[in-house]
Structure 1
Amino acid sequence: MNLRALVSVTGKPGLFKLVGQNKGGFILETLDQAKIKTVVSLSSTKMATLEDITIYGEEEEIRLLNIFETIKEKGIALPDTKSDGETLRNFFREVAPGHDESRVYSSDIKKVITWYNIIKEFPLFEEEAPAPLM
């Protein structure tokens, strides 16, 4: 899974593709049909690549990419984001066993489901991630 160029931006819904950089910040493109480009400031905006996002675990953090891989490999049906908290929690127990239930909220689970639905059809989801530089 090569999702290195996909980012989440604090305060903005959805996911973005990092397409460039200029003096003022990063140039991002929405992943929806509109393909709207926007610039986010380096100093005032928090962003995280999907590869860097982790979920609180009881023993160690769980990488978001590992959760996506589990959903993909097992063909697990995603619950609706409007499902009740227990349905969402049961789903997450299956795809992220060992997550810290006291620190992972329903809103976090909904975000994971939403993001998976956004990226599941993209070719990047099928590509292998490049090897890390040493």
Structure 2
Amino acid sequence: MNLRGLVSVTGKPGLFKLIGQNKGGFILESLDKAKIKSVVNLSTTKMATLEDITIYGEDDEIRLIDVFEAIKGNEGNTPEVKADGDTLRNFFREVAPGHDEQRVYSSDIKKIISWYNIIKELPLFEEEAPAPLA
């Protein structure tokens, strides 16, 4: 799976694709149907790439990419984002076993499911992640 260039921006819903950089910051394109382009200034806004996001685990942190892979393998059982907390937690126990239930909230699970729903139609699951730079 290739999540390189996909980012979450603090204070903005949804996901974005990093498409360039200028003097004012990074140029992003929303991944929703509107494909809105915007410039984000990193001195005032925080941005996180999806490939770098991890989830609190009881022992080790769990990579978001691994959770997405597990959701893909369990796609028929994926609850709606608006499902109740118990349903979301039970599903997350299946796709992210060993997550820290005290520090991973229902709102986090909802966000991860909504992100998965945004990217599942993209060809990211068939693409290999680029090799890390040495």
What letter corresponds to residue 7 of structure 1 in structure 2?
A: V
The aligned residue for residue 104 of structure 1 is 104
Q: 1:119 is matched with which residue?
A: 119
**Could you say which residue in structure 1 is the equivalent of 2:84?**
84
Question: What one-letter code is carried by the residue in structure 1 that aligns with 2:62?
Answer: I
Report the alpha carbon displacement of residue 8 of structure 1 after superposing the two structures with TM. Answer: 0.2
Amino acid in the other structure paired with 1:97 = P
- Could you tell me which runs of 5 or more consecutive residues in structure 2 were left unpaired when the two chains were aligned: none
**CA distance in structure 1 between the partners assigned to 2:110 and 2:120 by the alignment:** 15
The answer for the alignment partner of 2:31 in structure 1 is 31
Tell me, yes or no, if structure 1 residue 14 matches structure 2 residue 14. yes
Q: CA deviation at 1:76?
A: 4.6
The structural deviation recorded for 1:101 is 0.1
**Scaled by the length of structure 1, what TM-score is found?**
0.96
**Structure 2 length normalisation: TM-score?**
0.96
User: Over aligned residues, Cα RMSD in angstroms?
Assistant: 0.9
Amino acid at match of 2:125: F
Alignment of 1:50-89 (within 5 A): 50-89=50-89
Report the secondary structure of 1:8's partner residue.
strand
Aligned residues: 134
Flag structure 1 segments of 5+ consecutive residues without an equivalent. none
1:72: Cα distance to partner? 1.4
**Deviation at residue 78 of structure 1 after TM alignment:** 1.2
